[in-house]
C-alpha cells in the first residue's frame, strides 16, 4: 500500500500513514490536504512523538531514475516513483538553436554575432543535458525531505565497475568468488548488447555469455571479447569465430564506445557529492549488487524496484504489494526564445515577456467546465496559455480562461500513476 505523507502543524515530517487512517483524520477535521503530489496531509496539532527514520533510495539512469522511500526496520516501501529525464530533448533543442543561428549567419540575415571569449567553464561544469538529470534527482530528494522523515540516502554509484572489468585482480579473490560472482560482467554485457542475442537478435530468451573468439582458439576472457547469445546461436557457432560464423561486424566491434556509461558515471559522481553535502549519510552500491538484491528477493525488473534494492542496507524482506508508482516526467520550465523563426530563418512569431495570462501559466493542471458551445462539457489537463485569453486545455483548443479552475501549479513536471 502506498502511504500518505504526514506533517504536523509546524510542517515537521511524521510517520507516513495508511490511506485509510489519513482519510479518517481528514474526515474528522484533524488534518487538511497539504499537497496532492506526493499526497501529503497536515495535522492541526504539534506532534508528540519522534517519527521512525526512513531511507531514500536512488537508482539514477540516463533516461529514467528510480526513487523509493523505504523503512529499513519493517521493509515497507512507503513511496516509489520513476523520474523521466529530458536530457536527450535538451541536447536536441540546443542543436536546433545552434543550427538556426549558423544558418542566419551564413546567409547574412539579422543574427547574433558569434562569441569567442566566453569559453571558460567553471569548475564542476557539466553539459546541460547531464546537469538537468542531476538537478531532477536533487529536486525530488529535497521535495521528499520536506514531507518524509528521511535519515539516510542510498545511491547506486556505478552501473559499470570499469576498474573491476579491466583488472579483476584488483578487488581480491574473495569478492570474485562470493555470491556476487558473474553479476557485474553479465549486467554490463546485457546493457552493451541491448539485451538481445548478438547474432539472431532474439529478445526475451535466456542469454548466455559467449566468446567472440572462442577460448579454444586463443580468445581471452577480456570483456571486449564477450557477447551475449541465445542458446541456439551459442551451440551452432561452436568453436568458430564471429567472422567464420558470418558476423564480421561483431568481431570488429570488440572495442565499443562506453560514452553513455561514462556520462552516467559522471552524473552519479555529481549526485554523490551534492547528496553528501546535504548532511544525510549516503550509502553507495554498485549496479551488480542492486541486481543481486533484486534477484534474491524475486522482484521483477523495474526502475523503482531497482531503487528499492540499492545498497547493502536493503531489508531481507520487502513489502512492495500495492505500492502505487508515481510517474514523473521532467518537462522543463518553457523556453526564453522571444522570436520564433520559420524554417528559412525568418522571424515568424514574437512572444511577450509575460508568462502569466489571466492568472494561468503554461503547464498548470486545470479543469475546465464549459456550459455551452462547441466545447461544452468538462475538460482537464495541462493548459497552454495565450494573451488572447483563449487557452488550450489538454488537446481541446480555444477555451476561455473564465471557465478554468487550477488544480496544480506548473512546477516543471508532469505526473501520472504507473
Q: Which residues partner with 226 through β-bridges?
A: 211
Q: Are 330 and 132 in contact (CB under 8 A)?
A: yes
**Which listed range, 16-24, 189-197, 216-224, 281-289, lies at the site for Zn ion (CB under 5 A)?**
189-197
**Which listed range, 230-238, 270-278, 308-316, 339-347, lies at the site for Zn ion (CB under 5 A)?**
230-238
- Phi–psi pair at 58, nearest 5 degrees: -130, 130
Radius of gyration of the chain (CA): 26
Residue 158 half-sphere exposure toward CB, CA atoms < 13 A: 10
User: In angstroms, what is the minimal distance from the CB of 260 to Zn ion?
Assistant: 24
Reference 265, options 85, 62, 128, 65; nearest CA is: 62
Binding letters toward Zn ion, positions 271-290, x by CB under 5 A? --------------------
Among 17, 58, 90, 230, binds Zn ion (CB under 5 A): 230
Q: Is 199 in the site for Zn ion (CB under 5 A)?
A: yes
Q: How far is CA 188 from CA 84, 131, 201, 247, 330, in A?
A: 22, 24, 17, 21, 27
User: In angstroms, what is the minimal distance from the CB of 247 to Zn ion?
Assistant: 11
User: In angstroms, what is the minimal distance from the CB of 207 to Zn ion?
Assistant: 9
Name the grid cell of 335: 523556453
Name the grid cell of 111: 543574427
DSSP 62-100: SSEEEEEEE-TTT-BEEEEEEEEP-HHHHHHHHHHHHHH
Nearer to Zn ion by Cβ, of 199 and 292: the residue is: 199
Residues 309-348 that bind Zn ion (CB under 5 A): none
Q: How far apart are the first and last CA of the chain?
A: 14
User: How many residues does the structure list for the chain?
Assistant: 418
**Which listed range, 85-93, 196-204, 217-225, 237-245, lies at the site for Zn ion (CB under 5 A)?**
196-204
User: In angstroms, what is the minimal distance from the CB of 246 to Zn ion?
Assistant: 12
User: In angstroms, what is the minimal distance from the CB of 211 to Zn ion?
Assistant: 15
Strand stretches in 222-324, DSSP E: 226-230, 282-286
User: In angstroms, what is the minimal distance from the CB of 301 to Zn ion?
Assistant: 21
User: In angstroms, what is the minimal distance from the CB of 253 to Zn ion?
Assistant: 16
- Separation of alpha carbons 130 and 288, rounded Å: 23
Among 42, 90, 233, 323, binds Zn ion (CB under 5 A): 233
**Which listed range, 97-105, 127-135, 222-230, 410-418, lies at the site for Zn ion (CB under 5 A)?**
222-230
Q: How far is CA 395 from CA 168, 329, 384, in A?
A: 55, 18, 10
Q: Are strands 40-43 and 4-7 parallel, antiparallel or unpaired?
A: parallel
Q: Is 198 in the site for Zn ion (CB under 5 A)?
A: no
Q: Are strands 377-384 and 390-393 parallel, antiparallel or unpaired?
A: antiparallel
The count of residues interacting with Zn ion (CB under 5 A) is: 5
Nearer to Zn ion by Cβ, of 153 and 230: the residue is: 230
User: In angstroms, what is the minimal distance from the CB of 249 to Zn ion?
Assistant: 15
Nearer to Zn ion by Cβ, of 41 and 207: the residue is: 207
Q: What dihedral angle (degrees, nearest 10) is formed by the CA atoms of 215, 220, 223, 229?
A: -10
Nearer to Zn ion by Cβ, of 184 and 210: the residue is: 210
Residue 104 has a CB neighbour count (10 Å cut-off) of 17
Residue 369 half-sphere exposure toward CB, CA atoms < 13 A: 3
User: In angstroms, what is the minimal distance from the CB of 196 to Zn ion?
Assistant: 8
Nearer to Zn ion by Cβ, of 158 and 197: the residue is: 197
Nearer to Zn ion by Cβ, of 74 and 235: the residue is: 235
Nearer to Zn ion by Cβ, of 200 and 418: the residue is: 200
Among 7, 22, 43, 197, binds Zn ion (CB under 5 A): 197
Among 32, 200, 387, 407, binds Zn ion (CB under 5 A): 200
User: In angstroms, what is the minimal distance from the CB of 25 to Zn ion?
Assistant: 57
- Contact residues toward Zn ion (CB under 5 A) are 197, 199-200, 230, 233
Amino acid at each position: 500500500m502506498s502511504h500518505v505523507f504526514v506533517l504536523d502543524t509546524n510542517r515537521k515530517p511524521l510517520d507516513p500513514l495508511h490511506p485509510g487512517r489519513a482519510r479518517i483524520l481528514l474526515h474528522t477535521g484533524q488534518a487538511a490536504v497539504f499537497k496532492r503530489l506526493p499526497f501529503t496531509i497536515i495535522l492541526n496539532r504539534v506532534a508528540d512523538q519522534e517519527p521512525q527514520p526512513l531511507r531514500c533510495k536512488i537508482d539514477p539512469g540516463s533516461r529514467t531514475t528510480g526513487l523509493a522511500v523505504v523503512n529499513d526496520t519493517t521493509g515497507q516501501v512507503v513511496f516509489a516513483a520513476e523520474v523521466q529525464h529530458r536530457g536527450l530533448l535538451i541536447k536536441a533543442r540546443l542543436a536546433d538553436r545552434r543550427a538556426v543561428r549558423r544558418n542566419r549567419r551564413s546567409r547574412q540575415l539579422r543574427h547574433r554575432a558569434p562569441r569567442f571569449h566566453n569559453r571558460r567553464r567553471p569548475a564542476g561544469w557539466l553539459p546541460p543535458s547531464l546537469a538537468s538529470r542531476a538537478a531532477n534527482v536533487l529536486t525530488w530528494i529535497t521535495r521528499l525531505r520536506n514531507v518524509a522523515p528521511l535519515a539516510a540516502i542510498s545511491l547506486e554509484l556505478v552501473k559499470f565497475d570499469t576498474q573491476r572489468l579491466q583488472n579483476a585482480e584488483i578487488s581480491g579473490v574473495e569478492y570474485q568468488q562470493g555470491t556476487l560472482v558473474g553479476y557485474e560482467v553479465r549486467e554490463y554485457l546485457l546493457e552493451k548488447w541491448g539485451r538481445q542475442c548478438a547474432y539472431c537478435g532474439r529478445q526475451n530468451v535466456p542469454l548466455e555469455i559467449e566468446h567472440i573468439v572462442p577460448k579454444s582458439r586463443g580468445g581471452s576472457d577480456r570483456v571486449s571479447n564477450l557477447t551475449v547469445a541465445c542458446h541456439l546461436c551459442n551451440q551452432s557457432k561452436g568453436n568458430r569465430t564471429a567472422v567464420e560464423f558470418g558476423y564480421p561486424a561483431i568481431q570488429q566491434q570488440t572495442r565499443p564506445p562506453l560514452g553513455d556509461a561514462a556520462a552516467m558515471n559522471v552524473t552519479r559522481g555529481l549526485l554523490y557529492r551534492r547528496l553528501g553535502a546535504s548532511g544525510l549519510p549516503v550509502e553507495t552500491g554498485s549496479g551488480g549488487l542492486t541486481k543481486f538484491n533484486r534477484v534474491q528477493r524475486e522482484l521483477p525488473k523495474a526502475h523503482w524496484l531497482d531503487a528499492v534494492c540499492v545498497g547493502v542496507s536493503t531489508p531481507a524482506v520487502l513489502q512492495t504489494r500495492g505500492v502505487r508508482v508515481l510517474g514523473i516526467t521532467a518537462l522543463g520550465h518553457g523556453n526564453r526564445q522571444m522570436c520564433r523563426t520559420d524554417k528559412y530563418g525568418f522571424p515568424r512569431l514574437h512572444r511577450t515577456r509575460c508568462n502569466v495570462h489571466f492568472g494561468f501559466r503554461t503547464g498548470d493542471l486545470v479543469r475546465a467546465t464549459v456550459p455551452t458551445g462547441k466545447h461544452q462539457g468538462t475538460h482537464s489537463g495541462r493548459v497552454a496559455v495565450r494573451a488572447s485569453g483563449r487557452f488550450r486545455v489538454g488537446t481541446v483548443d480555444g477555451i476561455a480562461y473564465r471557465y478554468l479552475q487550477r488544480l496544480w501549479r506548473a512546477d516543471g513536471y508532469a505526473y501520472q500513476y504507473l
